[in-house]
């Protein structure tokens, strides 16, 4: 799956909010205004396409089995990386199919 395919799928599937979870926290995600809006019990995080692409690009540089491991992104300085990884894991399913 290429990034543009992933983004198209996300924008289509998240027209209505859907529930997901990081390793420690449930959240809902909705596509709105060209970005993903992540809502937790206490915060709303807007996630831009460019930020998701940054995580996607980092994932491609890793071994397939390490792409969906949240701790591999802790040094990237992206506060929303755990939410992005959870979405990647849900929509991509097979990390070996990322291009």
pLDDT in tens, the chain (99 residues): 899 999 999 999 999 999 999 888 999 999 999 999 999 999 999 999 999 999 999 889 988 888 888 777 777 788 898 999 999 999 997 777 788
Q: Is residue 85 part of a domain?
A: yes
What pLDDT is attached to residue 99? 87
Give the separation between CA 40 and CA 85, rounded to whole angstroms.
15
Number of domains in the chain: 1
* Strand 18-21 to 26-32 pairing: antiparallel
pLDDT at 42: 93
Structural domain boundaries, residue 82: 3-94
Q: Does 15 reside within a domain?
A: yes
d(CA 11, CA 59) in angstroms, rounded, equals 20
Helix (H, G, I), strand (E, B) or coil at 33: coil
- Answer yes or no: is 99 within a domain: no
**CA distance linking residue 26 with residue 24, whole number of Å:** 7
């Amino acid at each position: 799956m290429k990034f543009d395919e992933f983004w198209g799928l996300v924008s289509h599937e998240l027209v209505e909010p859907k529930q997901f979870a990081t390793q420690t926290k449930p959240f809902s995600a909705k596509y709105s205004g060209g970005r993903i809006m992540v809502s937790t019990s206490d915060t709303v995080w807007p996630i831009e396409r460019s930020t998701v692409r940054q995580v996607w690009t980092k994932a491609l540089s890793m071994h397939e089995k390490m792409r969906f491991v949240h701790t591999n992104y802790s040094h990237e300085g992206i506060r929303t990386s755990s939410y992005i990884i959870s979405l990647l894991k849900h929509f991509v399913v097979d990390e070996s199919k990322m291009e």
